[in-house]
Amino acid sequence: MCPGALICVLTALAVPLSAASAGDFSVSVPSAPVSVWLGDSVTLPCSVTPPMDVSPLEVRWYRPPHRTPFLLYRDWRIEPSSQDNKYQGRVFLVGLGSGVGGLEGGNVSLSLRNVTMADSGAHLMLCWQFAVV
């Protein structure tokens, strides 16, 4: 990047939701915002504690106040039709397909490529499981 280029600041927020029990797991994100040069890629770290396989869970990343996710993972795959057009091809779950330490290890971090000023601000991750009745 050239000198004087702008820096974009992103913040990861997370809310674990569990229909089974609120104490099943918690979600950890950095307490400080993440800075990145415009045009670069960034990872917003996010993980489930205690480490557990989140593959069968639903994971949603979105930008408040909007409730439509720009990345939706459910039924063991990313739902491309749910993605906002401005994020298609730019957002990925870091843990997807990476085996141990990936989704199986509780990693629900978001990778965002080609960061723009429009990406600046809060990014909220919701993760939940459904109780079997």
Token pair listed for 121 = 């601000």
pTM here is 0.80
- Is the distance from CB of 69 to CB of 88 less than 8 angstroms? no
pLDDT tens digit string along 47-77?
A: 888 888 888 888 989 888 887 889 999 888 8
Domains, the chain, ranges and CATH? 13-129 (2.60.40.10)
Q: How far is the C-alpha of 133 from the C-alpha of 56, rounded, in Å?
A: 16
pLDDT tens digit string along 86-120?
A: 888 899 999 886 655 688 888 999 999 999 989 98
Q: Give the three-class secondary structure for 34.
A: strand
Token pair listed for 71 = 């990345």
Consecutive H or E run containing 60: strand 58-62
